[in-house]
Amino acid sequence: METRIVKVNRDNPEVELIKEGAELIKSGKLVAFPTETVYGLGANGLDEEAASKIFVAKGRPQDNPLILHVSSLEEVKQLVKSIPKQAEIIAEKFWPGPLTMIFERSSLIPDVITAGLDTVAIRMPDHKIALELIRASGVPIAAPSANTSGRPSPTIAQHVIEDLYGKIDMIIDGGATGVGLESTVLDLTGELPTILRPGGVTLEDLKPIIPDVTLDLSIVKDEDNIIPKSPGQKYRHYAPKAHMIVYCGQVDDIVEAIKNRAKELIEEGKTVGIMATDETKSSYQEGMVVSVGSRKDMGTIAHNLFNVLRNFDEKKVDIILSEGVEMEDLGTAIMNRMKKASGGNIIYV
C-alpha cells in the first residue's frame, strides 16, 4: 500500500490537507495524525471494517479496546447510554486534554471498538490538527497510538513511518507531540472513579474535582497476579528491542547501582545504554549516556521518554539501564511506562 505523508501546520492546519485526511477516514481508510499525547492511528469509529484494519496494521491484540476521539462533549451523547453529571464536570475542566473517560456504551458503536465490553473509552484531544480532522470527518475517530503493538509510542512522524509505512493510507506530520505519554484512562462506571492507566492528567490534578478518585491496584502494585481493569495494561508495552532494567530508590543509590552494573556488562562485552537525568548524567563515565530530562520537571521526562527508548534501539544497545523516578504527579505515568517497557524488570536499591 502507498502511504501518503503530508506536513501540516500545527497552529494553522491547511484546510485542503485536513479535508483529504477526512475523506480517507470517511471512506474507511487509516490516517495517522498528531495529538498532544502521542501520534494516533485513526479510522472511522462507527465503521466496523475500518476499525478492524487498525488491529491488522498495528498487530494489536483483538481484546484491547480502542479510544474514540471526539471534538465536543455533544458528540459523546450518541455514543453512550448517558453522560453522568460527574463526567460533564470533568470534561468541563480537562477537555480538550490528555484524559480519556470510560462510559456505558450505546448500540451505535461496533463491537470491535470496545472488544466486546459494555463500556467505551472516549477523549477529546487538545490538538488543532486532531480536532480539525475529527470535525471534517464528521464521525468519532478510533485511534490507538500509531506504533506497532508493543513498541514505544510515536512522538514524531518519523516514528510512525518506521512502524507503519506501507501499512496505512496517510501520515499527517504535525511535528512533535507535547505530553509524550498516552492519556490518563479514568473509569466512571464503577463504584469509585478509578484511574486504569496513569497519563497526562494526574491523580493530583483530578483529586480537587473528584476527591474519591483512586488508582487501579495494578498501577500501584508490582505483583503479577493483579489483573488490570484496562485490557491494554496487561501487555508488555512501550518496549524497546533491548533488554531494559529500571532502578528505583534514592537518586545517589540508583546512580551507584547503575554504574556498577554498567561496568560489569561492559566487561562482558555488552553495549550499554544508560537513561540518566540532567542532574545525574555527568556521574557516569561509561556506557552510552543519554539524559531523558530533568528530575525537577517531570514533563521533560514524559516528553522525551519514548524517543530516547527508540534512539537506544537505533544505536543497537544490548541493554538499557534506566533511572526510575518518584511515583508522584506525572512520575506515576512515567514509572508505569518504564515498568511496562522493561517487562517489570525493576530493581529497588
Q: Which residues bind Mg ion (CB under 5 A)?
A: 144-145
Site for ligand AMP in 83-102 (CB under 6 A): 102
- Other Cβ atoms within 10 Å of 9 Cβ, number: 12
Q: Which is nearer to Mg ion, 145 or 332 (CB)?
A: 145
Q: How far apart are CA 326 and CA 298, in angstroms?
A: 10
Contact 166, 56 (CB under 8 A): no
The stretch among 78-86, 114-122, 243-251, 283-291 that binds ligand AMP (CB under 6 A) is 114-122
Q: Which helix H or strand E contains 340, and what residues bound it?
A: helix 330-341
Among ligand AMP, Mg ion, none, what binds residue 185 when CB lies within 5 to 8 Å by partner kind?
ligand AMP
Residue 330: what are its φ and ψ, rounded to 5°? -65, -20
Question: What cell numbers appear for 113 in the block?
Answer: 471498538
Helices (H), 59-156: 85-94, 111-114, 128-137
Contacts of residue 101, defined as CB under 8 A and 6 or more positions apart, other chains included, come to: 87, 90, 91, 121, 122, 123, 186, 187, 188
Do 273 and 297 contact (CB within 8 A), yes or no? Answer: no
Taking residues 119 to 138 in sequence order and writing x for each that binds ligand AMP by CB under 6 A, - otherwise, the string is xxx-----------------
Please report whether residue 177 would count as binding ligand AMP according to CB under 6 A. Answer: no
Least separation in angstroms between residue 143's CB and ligand AMP is: 7
Residue 198 or 287: the one with the smaller Cβ distance to ligand AMP is: 198
Partner interacting with residue 73 (select from Mg ion, ligand AMP, none; CB below 5-8 Å by kind): none
Least distance between ligand AMP and beta carbon 83 (Å): 15
Give 337's contacts (C-beta < 8 A, 6+ positions apart).
181, 237, 238, 305, 306
Element (H, E) at 170: strand 170-173
Q: Does 232 bind ligand AMP (CB under 6 A)?
A: yes
Amino acid at 154: P
Between 116 and 348, name the residue whose CB sits nearer to ligand AMP. 116
Rounded least distance, CB 285 to ligand AMP, Å: 38
Work out what residue 244 binds among ligand AMP, Mg ion, none; the CB cut-off runs from 5 to 8 Å by kind.
none
Min dist. Cβ of residue 145 to Mg ion (A):
3
Closest distance to ligand AMP from the beta carbon of 279 (Å): 30
- CB closer to ligand AMP out of 181 and 272: 181
The site for ligand AMP (CB under 6 A) is made up of 64-65, 67, 102, 114, 117, 119-121, 144-145, 182, 185, 196-197, 230-233
